Amino acid sequence: MHLIWIALCLLVQGGRSFMIHNTIHSLCLEDSRKNDSVLLKRCNLNSDLQQWFWEDQRFLVNKGTSRCLSSQQIDLISTISCDASKALWWHCHGYRLVSHNNSLELTTDGRHLFLSQKSKLSKWRSLGESSICQEMSRSKRASDESDVLQTEDNETEYDYTEEAGMTEEQRQYLRWYYRTEDPSPWKYAMLGLSVGALLLGCLLFGMGSMANRNRKKIGEYKAAAAAQAARAEELQSMTACKQPCDSPAKSSQPCEKPPLDDCKAGELKSGDIVLTWKDGNVSMLYPEAREDDV
């Protein structure tokens, strides 16, 4: 009986189904037909497996599989039959989906779904401009109105799509925003840019190495030239100090003793001592002693 009620809800409440969107990773909850696992996929407005709705303000039912969101284990989120006793009750608090059974929040790390304590990654909202709590309020209001319709034999019709659904412009914008494109050209472009940047870096590295080597050689040459110039100046100063004569003409020829006068040379005898002064004068040592001897 409960399954028949869910099927009727799918027909009547199809306009107010919504997509559960993670605001951190920008992915949507999607049920699987092959098994009971719940996955995180790119949001697709045309997929019934990503459409969910509230049932009795406590069950989250998938539109494509008519199964309820539940969890057999803390680290395993799946969908089971809504008639099962293990089906989890859910309630929303802000942007968080909290299990009524164990007070744990529905959380994801971008790849897997699990239940945990309060986490920054457990923020969920409807893909439209409303939160999941607002969807729950709309579900409650719509269910109340459906009860009124049943008691009044469908005398009044309500447009649920206009009340709770999205406009066609919003759907077109979301289709464009979550469109899928081939990333191959972008990957090839980035690969080419990375190779070009690598080659440019190698070229700049080689030029810098050659410039450093040339600077070292120039520095060594300048140091050797400065040392050679200092050595030459030192040798020149030492040579200038060792020259015996004042002029270059005198330094080229040995200095000769000034010749003695003929008269003085004739007066010289053995044993005489002659002194030659720097000014060129010549004198005899002990001349008076020689006169006394005479």
Give me the amino acid identity at 159: D
Residue type, 260: L
For 131, phi then psi, to 5°, come to -90, 170
* Topology adopted by domain 2-180: Trefoil (Acidic Fibroblast Growth Factor, subunit A) (2.80.10)
Alpha helices in 152-183 (DSSP H): 160-164, 168-177
Cα(239)–Cα(254) distance, integer angstroms: 17
β-pairing, 124-126 vs 113-116, is: unpaired
Stretch 5-23: mean pLDDT, rounded? 62
Structural tokens at position 16: 């107010």
Lowest mean pLDDT among 30-44, 129-143, 194-208: 129-143
Q: Which pLDDT does position 213 carry in this prediction?
A: 92
Question: What sign for the dihedral angle of Cα 92, 93, 96, 99?
Answer: negative
Residue 154 is predicted with a pLDDT of 47
Average pLDDT, the chain: 74
Could you give phi then psi for residue 171, rounded to 5 degrees? Answer: -65, -40
Q: Which of 34-48, 188-202, 234-248, 267-281 has the highest mean pLDDT?
A: 188-202
Q: Where are the beta strands (DSSP E) in the chain?
A: 20-22, 27-31, 38-41, 52-55, 59-62, 68-73, 76-80, 90-93, 96-99, 105-108, 113-116, 124-126, 273-276, 282-285
Flag whether pLDDT at 127 surpasses 70. yes
The token duo for 158 is 């309500």
Q: Find the DSSP H helices in 152-259.
A: 160-164, 168-177, 184-242, 248-252
Q: Among 28-32, 152-156, 210-214, 252-256, whose mean pLDDT is lowest? A: 152-156
Residue 132 scores a pLDDT above 80: no
Residue matched to tokens 């010749």: 259
Q: Are 171 and 49 in contact (CB under 8 A)?
A: no
More confident residue, 67 or 248: 67
Lowest mean pLDDT among 112-116, 155-159, 166-170: 155-159
CB 58 within 8 A of CB 90: yes
pLDDT of the residue at 251: 46
> Which of 20-24, 62-66, 213-217 has the lowest average pLDDT?
20-24
pLDDT at 278: 76
Segment 50-64 shows an average pLDDT of 87
Residue 216 tokens, joined: 């070292």
* Amino acid 10: pLDDT: 44
Whether the pLDDT of residue 263 is over 50: the answer is no
How confident is the model over 166-202, as pLDDT tens digits? 688 888 887 777 777 777 888 999 999 999 999 999 9
Instruction: Collapse the DSSP code of 49 into the 3-class scheme (helix H, G, I; strand E, B; otherwise coil) and give the result.
Output: helix
pLDDT of residue 197: 96
Segments making up each domain of the chain, as ranges = 2-180, 181-239, 260-293
Radius of gyration of the chain (CA): 56
35 — pLDDT class (breaks 50, 70, 90) = confident
What's the pTM value of the predicted model, to 2 decimals?
0.46
Question: What pLDDT does 143 receive?
Answer: 54
Q: Which of 16, 58, 19 is nearest to 146 (CA)?
A: 16
User: What DSSP assignment string belongs to 123-166?
Assistant: -EEESSSS-HHHHHHHHHHHHHHHHHHHHTTT-S---HHHHHS-
Task: Round to whole Å and give the CA distance between 143 and 5.
Answer: 12
Query: Does the structure show a pLDDT above 90 at 204?
Result: yes
Q: Which residue has the tokens 């539109």?
A: 63
pLDDT computed for residue 249 by the predictor: 47
DSSP state of 18: B
